[in-house]
Structure 1
Amino acid sequence: MPRLRRLAVLLAGSLIPLANLTGPPASTAPATPPPTSTAPATPPVRTAAPATPPARTTAPAGTLAEAFTRAAATYEVPRDLLVALGYAETHLDGHGGAPSASGGYGVMHLVSNPTVHTLERAATLTKQPVATLKTGDAANIAGGAAVLRAYADELGLDATARKDPGKWYAAVAEYGNASTSEVARLYADTVYDLMAGGVHAVTPSGETVIVMSRMLQLDRGAYSAARDLDGTMAAAAVDFPSARWVAAKSANYTVAKRPSSAKIDRIVIHVAQGSYAGTISWFQNPAAQVSAHYVVRSSDGAVTQMVREKDRAWHAGNYNSRSVGIEHEGYINNASWFTDPMYRASAALTRSIADRYGIPKDRAHIVGHNQVPGADHTDPGPKWDWTRYMQYVTGGGNPYTAQKVCGSGYKMVDSAALGSAGTVYLLYNTANDNNCVATMKATSLGTATAATAYLEVQGKKRVTQSGNVAHYAGPIRAYALDKCVKWGGKIGSSTYDSPFEYCVSE
């Protein structure tokens, strides 16, 4: 199947307990680790030949980029894989040495909690004090590299195999500490999708760390048999038609018969302090003693349902019996997690819940976890854009989405804001190898105002749609196999023009 050589996938993986959820006290029962396998490698799933990454200049001493390069060389871990893993975990934000709710520290999210002890293992492997690993970015990155290399050694990767990032798949899956093999696969796929798409991360200090996009042949081994949670939805019915179903552990919620047993009149918005894969994994772990009905992914707004709406998820203390809980991937102090696809998908979910139970679409009934009486949590936090979110919920936003405009089979690849006036989107359809561009208005909706969308396939004439439109310009679709594309749009004085990128290859 043709693949994009650069996918705009901004996922993150943290497979440890979640913050900002309220439930019964957590137990210390150990989590079940994902299975490992010494079976022969299965055929690679990506058909593109591995690309040779471009040469790099030496990063300045003391930078995060230099720390990744040095740690990768010391522990013979592919540098780009190490960066992608760190980005998946934290967006390369060490949070000033403060722990996550799961006890994870630093850029590489080295964990110390009752069931996971990668921080202590990193200290043993690197001979660095735990305190240094918690607060020092370079030490933390070296610790992550050491732990990842240890997993590779346990899986039998020799020196030749270690040079191929695709051979590290099972080691990456182990690093996620997933509760099931299917979530371990989701975690590893997240990291490798980042490598395929490339990473252009801006750290809290303003440093830019880059991974050039490259296609890899993945050796999933035993994980190739695990269910792909990004694939076909399970047969079990869901309450929200667009959701996938992955059941939470029955020890983490209460079976009920709502709304006949208790009225549902609130929707509670959470931010996980962790990743999409991590949230799913933790809700499947009986040690968690927490859950939410839904989980929403940052990059594309994918929704997974884990608890039936009729049942009481353990997410909001006193509001458990009367509410539906929606968990969002990300961290409350980092706005990069809160993407437009996430806001739109979550708002559509909230709107569906409100309509089905007659819940008013206002801030008295759609609340943050921090608003629940007796709550001691701060999510969704100051970076969550309530104005934008409620506009989408109430229908004050654009009634169209780029996916609807482009049509069935198109998935989001990238987007660029056009000031506050709207957003231009690039989508791709793997079934027919077509790109699609649409410029979506966010203001003056229903009123014809100037907007433009364009798509240019390398070697062909640019196609532009420009005029006065009520809701969107486009869609512009074009076949682009073995070609790169330029894309962009304009609303008013706000313009976006891409370089040639997102090349498609067999």
Structure 2
Amino acid sequence: MPPVPSSTSRSFTRRRALALGGGALVGAALGGAGFTLPAQARTASKLAETFEAVAAKHGIPRDLLVAIGYAETRLTRHDGPSQANGFGMMHLVNNPEHRTLAEAARLTDHSKGALKNQNDANIDGAAAVLRAYADDQGFSEGTRRDIGAWYPVVARYSGASDPFVQRLYADGVYDALWTGFEKSGVVLEPDPVDPDRDAVPLGFRAMSNHVDYPPAQWAAAHSSNYTSSNRPSSYAINYVVIHVMQGTYAGSISWFQNPSSNVSAHYCVRSSDGQVTQMVRHRDIGWHAGNSTYNRHSVGIEHEGWFDQPQWYTEAMYRSSAALTRHICDMHGIPKERSRIIGHNQASSTPCPGQIWDWGRYMGYVTEDEGGDPVWDVVVESTSSDHFVASNSWQQSSWAANKYGDAYSFNTPEPVSDAAWFRANLPEAGTYRVEVWHPSDSGYNDRTPYVVATTSGNQSVHVNQRTGGGAWRSIGNFSLAAGYREVVGVSRWTSGSGYVIADAVRISLLG
């Protein structure tokens, strides 16, 4: 039996200390609005040089500052405020419960107008706020060089009051550090930094008694932001309303928990992996549609992203949301038609969910499971010596009660290519549903990557293995080729914490 680790354990403990600043820019003076960048910044990537210079000025790891900008806006300056009244690439916020815009104005010489509208000022203001938070934590110069130590500072920057949501936000930033990216001339190399997650309380809550959709997490909206009811006895539920957040996943969850927001939706869906958080029960009336009639008769789903930024509209988000909508329709007898699955713009005067939202693609995913039972399926267990392939680093255990069969395989998270693969002989090319079975425990991984080898390349879906165990969980429908090969893998490369579990998968050909 494996020991159950703490929920914050990781198989390695080193923290990579990165240099603060870049070359000739380390000594740059960035005094107020309108500081001047070197000539090479104007001819190469001004944004990249701005991050270098600002990080050097404030004594902040450049990569951390870049990762925050990426997590907030994908390094894109959006038009207008976010749902939480935040501005600019670094999302400086101005609402009654979260005032990083005012803090930035106080800590720098930039006006609020410049902080809202100018990239250089916005990044400089965010860095000033982060440095002030680090000083409040008592960070020494050496500590400031440790990116992992900044985890509680990043959590505070989120503005969330709920530790659960603070960690959602901070984990998103550290995910960017782990995976790396290249955007707008800014390069962030992958770095398996180990965040100090122990510095932020876990904020764990029981979810099974609160959610109407079993795969969802639960984070309650503030009671002043929705109407308690007894639907469908009080009002029939006839619609699903689709929204785009104009903001981030963690930011919107925090905003719905803010008593001054006067807004809520039943669900939020994350862009990167389709994770779902429920915030209002179906029986209660969310304030999301801008129309009291639609509010009373609908379930609202918010999606992470911005109307004009297609990079947020991921395959994982579309598929996860479509599975949620299908569940809602089945639960309440709602026809799976566009007249009942509507955009926010059909309920009130708003551009939401925007022209980028692909209704044809989405409705295809909502209805693709129609047509009866699968025409073929196979279950592959990790105990099968012929159909399960893993290195010697993977161990087997029979400890968990809600496992599939007699045993399961487990490993620790590491940034290495060491996936455990389930093999299957697929009878024909076509659309297959992939379901996974795992035991659940608070010591298991909260972002386990399942990798599906599709006809268009590997696709990853992250699953929280701390909850929802002991049952089949669909991770989506995929186009798969015929033949015998490795079809579904469980990867160790994750920024989540706790044991990664490989137990069983079910692969079903849809007719």
1:307 is displaced (CA, Å) by 1.0
Q: Secondary structure at the match of 2:143?
A: helix
CA spacing shift, 1:158–1:385, aligned 2, 3 Å: same
8 Å contact from structure 2 (residues 105, 125) kept in 1:
yes
CA spacing shift, 1:166–1:194, aligned 2, 3 Å: same
Q: Secondary structure at the match of 1:139?
A: helix
Q: CA–CA distance in 2 between the matches of 1:65 and 1:291?
A: 36
Q: CA–CA distance in 2 between the matches of 1:480 and 1:175?
A: 29
Unpaired stretches in structure 2, ≥5 consecutive residues? 26-39, 371-429, 440-446, 466-474, 494-511
Residue by residue over 1:444-479, the C-alpha shift from the partner in whole angstroms, topping out at 9 and shown as x without a partner, is: xxxxxxx66xxxxxxxxxxxxxx479xxx7406488
Residue by residue over 1:25-62, the C-alpha shift from the partner in whole angstroms, topping out at 9 and shown as x without a partner, is: xxxxxxxxxxxxxxxxx997562423466998889413
CA spacing shift, 1:468–1:440, aligned 2, 3 Å: farther
Aligned to 1:303: 276
Q: CA–CA distance in 2 between the matches of 1:181 and 1:138?
A: 31
8 Å contact from structure 2 (residues 449, 462) kept in 1:
yes
Q: CA–CA distance in 2 between the matches of 1:268 and 1:58?
A: 52
- 2:50 equivalent to 1:81: no
8 Å contact from structure 1 (residues 44, 219) kept in 2:
no
Amino acid at match of 2:262: Q
Aligned to 1:328: 303
Instruction: Find 1:243's aligned residue among 202, 206, 216.
Output: 216
CA spacing shift, 1:287–1:336, aligned 2, 3 Å: same
* Aligned counterparts, 1:391-470, within 5 A: 391-395=364-368, 400-401=432-433, 404=435, 408=438, 411-412=448-449, 422=456, 424-426=458-460, 467=482
Q: CA–CA distance in 2 between the matches of 1:182 and 1:479?
A: 25
8 Å contact from structure 1 (residues 439, 474) kept in 2:
no
* Aligned counterparts, 1:103-502, within 5 A: 103-200=85-182, 202=183, 207-223=184-200, 225-227=201-203, 234-316=207-289, 317=291, 318-372=293-347, 375-395=348-368, 400-401=432-433, 404=435, 408=438, 411-412=448-449, 422=456, 424-426=458-460, 467=482, 474-475=486-487, 477=489
CA spacing shift, 1:220–1:396, aligned 2, 3 Å: closer
Q: CA–CA distance in 2 between the matches of 1:69 and 1:246?
A: 37
Residue by residue over 1:356-380, the C-alpha shift from the partner in whole angstroms, topping out at 9 and shown as x without a partner, is: 21111111000000001xx122111
Q: Secondary structure at the match of 2:207?
A: coil
1:132 is displaced (CA, Å) by 2.1
- 2:33 equivalent to 1:47: no
Q: CA–CA distance in 1 between the matches of 2:462 and 2:253?
A: 27
CA spacing shift, 1:129–1:477, aligned 2, 3 Å: closer
8 Å contact from structure 2 (residues 237, 332) kept in 1:
yes
The share of aligned pairs that are identical, in percent, is 45
Q: CA–CA distance in 2 between the matches of 1:477 and 1:45?
A: 21
Q: CA–CA distance in 1 between the matches of 2:74 and 2:120?
A: 15
CA spacing shift, 1:477–1:282, aligned 2, 3 Å: closer
CA spacing shift, 1:320–1:212, aligned 2, 3 Å: same
Unpaired stretches in structure 1, ≥5 consecutive residues? 2-41, 432-437, 443-450, 453-466, 482-506
1:213 is displaced (CA, Å) by 1.5
Q: Secondary structure at the match of 1:320?
A: helix
1:246 is displaced (CA, Å) by 1.7
Residue by residue over 1:312-337, the C-alpha shift from the partner in whole angstroms, topping out at 9 and shown as x without a partner, is: 11111230111011111111111111
Q: CA–CA distance in 1 between the matches of 2:165 and 2:210?
A: 20
Q: CA–CA distance in 2 between the matches of 1:161 and 1:407?
A: 41
1:129 is displaced (CA, Å) by 2.3
8 Å contact from structure 2 (residues 16, 146) kept in 1:
no
1:234 is displaced (CA, Å) by 2.4
Residue by residue over 1:74-102, the C-alpha shift from the partner in whole angstroms, topping out at 9 and shown as x without a partner, is: 00000000001111111111125x33243
Amino acid at match of 2:14: A
1:441 is displaced (CA, Å) by 5.3
Amino acid at match of 1:226: L
Q: What is the aligned length?
A: 393
1:66 is displaced (CA, Å) by 0.6
Instruction: Find 1:67's aligned residue among 50, 54, 57.
Output: 50
Amino acid at match of 1:61: A
TM-score normalised by length of structure 1: 0.70
Q: Secondary structure at the match of 2:41?
A: coil
Q: CA–CA distance in 2 between the matches of 1:429 and 1:183?
A: 18
Q: Secondary structure at the match of 1:193?
A: helix
CA spacing shift, 1:238–1:479, aligned 2, 3 Å: closer
8 Å contact from structure 2 (residues 222, 256) kept in 1:
yes
Amino acid at match of 2:230: K
Aligned to 2:418: none
1:424 is displaced (CA, Å) by 3.1
1:126 is displaced (CA, Å) by 2.1
CA spacing shift, 1:478–1:262, aligned 2, 3 Å: closer
8 Å contact from structure 2 (residues 84, 252) kept in 1:
no
1:309 is displaced (CA, Å) by 0.6
CA spacing shift, 1:416–1:123, aligned 2, 3 Å: farther
Q: Which moved more, 1:114-123 or 1:387-396?
A: 114-123
8 Å contact from structure 2 (residues 87, 93) kept in 1:
yes
Amino acid at match of 2:136: E
8 Å contact from structure 1 (residues 53, 212) kept in 2:
no
1:440 is displaced (CA, Å) by 7.2
8 Å contact from structure 2 (residues 225, 264) kept in 1:
yes
Aligned to 1:92: 75
CA spacing shift, 1:352–1:227, aligned 2, 3 Å: same
CA spacing shift, 1:414–1:134, aligned 2, 3 Å: farther
Q: CA–CA distance in 2 between the matches of 1:476 and 1:151?
A: 43
Aligned to 1:501: none
8 Å contact from structure 2 (residues 336, 367) kept in 1:
yes
8 Å contact from structure 1 (residues 53, 214) kept in 2:
no
CA spacing shift, 1:61–1:46, aligned 2, 3 Å: farther
1:260 is displaced (CA, Å) by 1.5
CA spacing shift, 1:116–1:440, aligned 2, 3 Å: closer
Aligned to 2:29: none
Q: CA–CA distance in 1 between the matches of 2:110 and 2:74?
A: 24
Q: Secondary structure at the match of 1:400?
A: strand
Amino acid at match of 1:150: A
Q: CA–CA distance in 2 between the matches of 1:301 and 1:176?
A: 20
Residue by residue over 1:377-422, the C-alpha shift from the partner in whole angstroms, topping out at 9 and shown as x without a partner, is: 2111111111110000011797634x52x7658944778997xxx5
Aligned to 1:13: none
RCO greater where, 1 or 2, for CA within 8 Å and sep 6 or more? 1
TM-score normalised by length of structure 2: 0.69
Q: CA–CA distance in 2 between the matches of 1:121 and 1:480?
A: 40
8 Å contact from structure 1 (residues 425, 439) kept in 2:
no
